C-alpha cells in the first residue's frame, strides 16, 4: 500500500484521515488482507501512520525524489523478485473483488496490469511484475504518472466498478466516498 503524501488539501496525513469513523488506511488494509498474504505499507519517514503491528510491514522509502511512482519502485525493490499489488491509501472504496480482478489477469509477459476507470488509468491501484522495475527505475520524475505507466506497455483492464477508484484528496471527496459506502 502506498501511504500517500502529506494530505494538504484534506487536512492531514491521508492514512490517518477518517471516513465513517475509520482511518482511510483501514479500508485498504482490509481489502488487501482478503486477497494477499503479505502486506506492506510504503511511506516516507515522516508519514503519520496508525499502529500497524500485526497488520502490515512498513517500508520506509527515500525522502527524495518525490513522485507517486517512487513508492512503486521501492515496493518492487523490496519485494525480492515477486510481483506487487499496489493500492494507494486514498482509494478506500477499492475492495477485495476489484483487487481480485487485477490478480486474475494473465500478464503474458507484460510488466503489469492497470485498471481504467471512467476513461482514466489508475496506476496507483495496479499489479506490477518485477520486470516493471527496469522501466520505472529510470523514469523522468517530471513526467505524468499515467504517461510513465502507459510507456511501460502495461495491460489495461476496464474497471467493473469505476466508482471504486474515487480518489479521496479533499473534504468533499470524503463526503462522496461516505455516500458511496452506503450504497
Q: pLDDT tens digits for 51-69?
A: 776 788 889 988 888 888 9
Per the structure, the complete domain to which residue 62 belongs is given by 14-181
What's the grid cell of residue 124?
Answer: 496507483
Domain presence at residue 133: yes
Instruction: Please indicate, yes or no, if residue 19 is contained in any of the structural domains.
Output: yes
Residues in the chain, how many?
Answer: 183
Is residue 93 within 8 Å of 135, Cβ to Cβ?
A: no
Q: In which band, very low, low, confident or very high, does the pLDDT at 74 lie, cut at 50, 70 and 90? A: very high
Residue 1 located in a structural domain: no
Output the pLDDT for position 50.
Answer: 78
Q: Do 85 and 155 form a contact (C-beta atoms < 8 A)?
A: no
Q: For residue range 11-25, what is the model confidence (pLDDT) as tens digits?
A: 668 888 899 999 999
Asked if the structure places residue 107 within a domain, the reply is yes
Cα distances (angstroms) measured from residue 40 to each of 35, 43, 74, 76, 156: 13, 10, 11, 11, 24
Distance CA 128, CA 142 (A): 21
What confidence score (pLDDT) does residue 24 get? 92
Predicted confidence at residue 125, as pLDDT, reads 98
Structural domain tally of the chain? 1
* pLDDT digits 0-9 by tens, 98-140: 999 999 999 999 999 999 999 999 999 999 999 999 999 999 8
Residue 106 lies in a domain: yes
Mean pLDDT calculated for residue range 63-86? 92
Instruction: Answer whether residue 21 is part of any domain.
Output: yes
Does residue 6 lie within any of the structural domains?
no
- Per the model's pLDDT, the better-predicted residue between 54 and 153 turns out to be 153
CATH number at residue 60: 3.90.550.10
- Note the pTM of the prediction, 2 decimals: 0.92
In a domain, 3, yes or no: no
Average model confidence (pLDDT) across the chain: 91
Of the chain, the end-to-end C-alpha distance in Å amounts to 25
Amino acid at each position: 500500500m502506498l501511504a500517500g503524501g502529506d494530505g494538504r488539501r484534506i487536512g492531514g496525513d491521508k492514512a490517518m484521515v477518517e471516513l465513517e469513523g475509520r482511518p482511510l488506511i483501514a479500508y485498504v488494509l482490509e481489502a488487501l488482507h482478503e486477497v494477499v498474504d503479505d502486506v506492506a505499507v510504503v511511506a516516507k519517514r515522516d508519514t503519520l501512520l496508525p499502529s500497524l503491528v500485526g497488520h502490515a510491514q512498513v517500508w520506509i522509502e527515500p525522502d527524495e525524489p518525490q513522485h507517486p511512482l517512487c513508492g512503486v519502485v521501492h515496493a518492487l525493490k523490496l519485494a525480492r523478485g515477486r510481483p506487487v499489488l499496489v493500492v494507494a491509501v486514498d482509494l478506500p472504496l477499492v475492495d477485495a473483488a476489484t483487487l481480485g480482478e487485477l490478480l486474475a489477469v494473465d500478464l503474458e509477459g507484460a510488466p503489469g496490469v492497470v485498471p481504467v476507470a471512467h476513461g482514466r488509468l489508475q496506476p496507483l491501484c495496479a499489479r506490477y511484475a518485477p520486470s516493471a522495475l527496469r522501466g520505472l527505475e529510470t523514469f523522468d520524475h517530471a513526467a505524468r504518472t499515467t504517461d510513465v505507466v502507459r510507456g511501460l506497455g502495461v495491460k489495461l483492464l476496464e474497471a467493473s466498478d469505476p466508482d471504486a477508484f474515487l480518489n479521496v484528496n479533499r473534504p468533499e471527496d470524503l463526503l462522496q466516498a461516505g455516500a458511496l459506502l452506503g450504497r
